[in-house]
Structure 1
Amino acid sequence: MASADPQSSRGAAEADGRGGGGGAPPIDAWLRAWRAIAPQWDQMRAKAKRVPDIPILRVNQIDAARLDVEMTAMLREQLGKVFSLSQPGLLLRYEPELNAFLEFLVWRFSIWVDKPTPGNALMNLRYRNERSYKTYLNLGRVRTGLEGAGLTKTQKILYCLFVVGGRYAWARLQLISAFQRWGDRQRTSWARRAWLLLQKTESLYKIAGFANLILFLHSGRYPSIVERLLGARLVYEKADMNRAVSFEYMNRQLVWHEFSELLLLVLPLLNMMSIRKVLMFPFSTQASVSSLPEDACPICEANPIITPYMALPCCHVYCYYCIRTRSLSDRNFKCARCNISVVALKRHQVEVDLSETQ
């Protein structure tokens, strides 16, 4: 067999690549096609690498804060039962200190040890240091949007000082100013100035709280001012946990509440004496009242009548309390003896014949 010349075969391939005959397309066509679709490909890769933004339900964050308050109230109630036999008013005197102690216990065994508070645990939430979250983004360690380290020690201590210490200091100052009547002092006294400063501080805090609430409703982040200042954001602890809450108990409470409100609205409008009279009519007879003696009360059947009063215009005698209550409860009250409408009451004067007594 004759061997093929390698140089001649290489030259033929190069000739075909330069566009000789009906071979493969030129290399420049591939480059032009790649350059045309490269921007779209880069955009698709950027969208694929974009971190998913998982919205944290606002109702979960508000419910978590409310549950923490309820937990503290339950602990306060149990502690009150322990000191129920102590000196009366002892717990009321030290109520700010007691609340601060209970809130400190909740903080010590939850936030300080990198665990969620009882309310956050029930709502599948935890605190994340939002300032260090950007580091995870730059390193490319974020996939679900829930990654991130917990709070630092500085953030934990500041949280305790602002929340626990701030609430205690404010409550104690309010009690001191109320008992010592700083607001009633002279305008030039330091107590009056301190009281005015407290009022202005409270107003500014309420305005700041309202502004923070508007921002929270808009963005869904930082339900409190302290969390916004510290950069402590509530995120889901588990991404695959379903929000399955049973509203059966709540529905029963709502139904009972609405029913009780309806009863409180309707019952004062009803005439209970008329309803009782209609219900008891088949079981009562007029003969039973007519068979009573004249000196007996037709309502309570007391003989002799206690504090006798006459029903006008029929002049039948009743006990004062019996006919007074019936006439007040029923404006169309009729005499039990003659069935005539009673329009007025008059004290019954018993006439005594002195000649007979002598």
Structure 2
Amino acid sequence: MAAQGSQSLVGMAEADVGGGGGVGAPPADAWLQAWRAIAPQWEQIRAKVKTVPDVPILRVNQIDAARLDVEMTGMLKEQLSRVFSLSQPGLLLRYEPELNAFLEFLVWRFSIWVDKPTPGNALMNLRYRNERSFNTYLKFGKVRTGLEGAGLTKTQKILYCLLVVGGRYAWARLQLISAFQRWGDRQRTSWARRAWLLLQKAESLYKIAGFANLVLFLHSGRYPSTVERLLGARLVYEKPDMNRAVSFEYMNRQLVWHEFSELLLLILPLLNMMSIRKVLMFPFSTQAPASSLPEDACPICEACPIVTPYMALPCCHLYCYYCLRTRSLSDRNLKCSRCSVSVVALKRYQVEAGLDGSGSTDAASQ
């Protein structure tokens, strides 16, 4: 039965082909119509296959790179300040904007200008890429990882120097000039007051632009600064196969020392340092007994004559003020070094000359 059914189906197919235009026969251009129907979908699939996925650059790496560049400039500034430490006081403070601009120019000259990453970018495995020319690489199929692309052009490099280095220097210098010459306190019709108001408005606009750029950066992860967005200079990974290696060794060491210092600050005020010092120095002490010292010598430091003499009450033996005061503060049960009587108070020892030329002692309470 199955053989007979298959033979009947083959016969019907042969009849349709032989009839050529019978009922159910496909048109001659059926394959062309079918291709035209699926061509748009096929082109979309090809476009999706060719499009390289955008590699996300960690935002924290980009922010840390900028911060490291600032720290690098600060280290160079500190070293340069030590060189001029013996010069005229206030010399570097007077030319601080010029000094900062010079150091930032050196960093730009030996990094961005020669197509090398800045110190911060190098530590974070980042480099600048000309985002506007990246589409050319994508068009010719030269993109595989999404991190390819040429560096900045000479125009972009020069504009970066003018906007970042020159802009910061000009702004800092104008701020100092307006502050020292008091442009804000001038008359409203004066050019200085108008320039000061213009600076305030420019600062406000720059802050608003910076805030808007920060929101866009947190959303897309591109262009952490306004200048980079204007120039089309994007930070991408320099080495695609390099993992993000974060070392916590320095942080752990700082935390250990911080906690150790906090512990010392908590414990040291509770210790009697004078008693500990006495116990530790007793085997090596060569101080003579206090009873053998003269009356005008301090029993503690053996100074003769006594510096700022004070009496220990009630025994009235004389001590240096500093010696007696520090011992009384560190030891509440202080005993006199000469007679071993407990010291309960301190009094100033003074010698006043009488009218007949004879001397008399007077004690003032301390």
- Under a length normalisation based on structure 2, what TM-score does the superposition of the two structures give? 0.70
Partner of 1:151: 152
1:18 aligns with 2:19: no
* CA deviations over 1:2-31 (Å, ceiling 9, x no partner): xxxxxxxxxx9x9468289xxxxxx99xx9
1:157 is paired with a residue whose SS is helix
Q: Which amino acid aligns with 1:298?
A: P
* CA deviations over 1:267-290 (Å, ceiling 9, x no partner): 4565533443565578889x9334
- Equivalences, count: 332
| Alpha carbons 1:52, 1:143 under 8 Å: kept | no
Deviation at 1:176, TM superposition (A): 1.4
Partner of 1:226: 227
Q: Which amino acid aligns with 1:18?
A: A
| Alpha carbons 2:315, 2:341 under 8 Å: kept | no
Distance 1:293 1:253, change over 3 A: same
Residues of 2 paired with 1:120 and 1:206: CA distance?
Answer: 24
| Alpha carbons 2:101, 2:169 under 8 Å: kept | yes
Residues of 1 paired with 2:332 and 2:211: CA distance?
Answer: 53
Partner of 2:362: none
Residues of 1 paired with 2:45 and 2:135: CA distance?
Answer: 23
Deviation at 1:72, TM superposition (A): 3.3
Residues of 2 paired with 1:131 and 1:279: CA distance?
Answer: 74
Deviation at 1:74, TM superposition (A): 4.6
Deviation at 1:169, TM superposition (A): 0.3
Partner of 1:273: 274
| 194-203 or 287-296, larger mean C-alpha shift | 287-296
Residues of 2 paired with 1:235 and 1:267: CA distance?
Answer: 51
| 122-131 or 288-297, larger mean C-alpha shift | 288-297
Partner of 1:166: 167
* CA deviations over 1:70-93 (Å, ceiling 9, x no partner): 443454456556767876655444
Partner of 1:312: 313
* CA deviations over 1:321-345 (Å, ceiling 9, x no partner): 3223333455554433334142342
| Alpha carbons 2:333, 2:342 under 8 Å: kept | no
Partner of 2:121: 120
Residues of 2 paired with 1:106 and 1:291: CA distance?
Answer: 71
| Alpha carbons 2:312, 2:319 under 8 Å: kept | yes
| Alpha carbons 1:209, 1:224 under 8 Å: kept | yes
1:110 aligns with 2:105: no
Residues of 2 paired with 1:224 and 1:346: CA distance?
Answer: 68
| 42-51 or 155-164, larger mean C-alpha shift | 42-51
Distance 1:164 1:296, change over 3 A: closer
1:128 is paired with a residue whose SS is strand
* CA deviations over 1:105-160 (Å, ceiling 9, x no partner): 33334323433223323322111222333444455443211123333343323212
Deviation at 1:168, TM superposition (A): 1.0
Deviation at 1:63, TM superposition (A): 2.8
| Alpha carbons 1:312, 1:346 under 8 Å: kept | no
Distance 1:204 1:254, change over 3 A: farther
| 55-64 or 207-216, larger mean C-alpha shift | 207-216
1:18 is paired with a residue whose SS is helix
Aligned positions of 1:1-358 closer than 5 A: 15=10, 18=13, 48-76=49-77, 90-264=91-265, 266-267=267-268, 270-277=271-278, 279=280, 288-292=289-293, 294-330=295-331, 333-336=334-337, 337-347=339-349, 349=351
| Alpha carbons 1:68, 1:118 under 8 Å: kept | yes
Distance 1:276 1:81, change over 3 A: closer
Residues of 1 paired with 2:300 and 2:253: CA distance?
Answer: 43
Residues of 1 paired with 2:329 and 2:187: CA distance?
Answer: 53
Deviation at 1:238, TM superposition (A): 1.9
Distance 1:255 1:183, change over 3 A: farther
Distance 1:232 1:355, change over 3 A: closer
1:131 is paired with a residue whose SS is helix
Distance 1:185 1:247, change over 3 A: same
Q: Percent identity?
A: 81
Residues of 2 paired with 1:18 and 1:346: CA distance?
Answer: 133
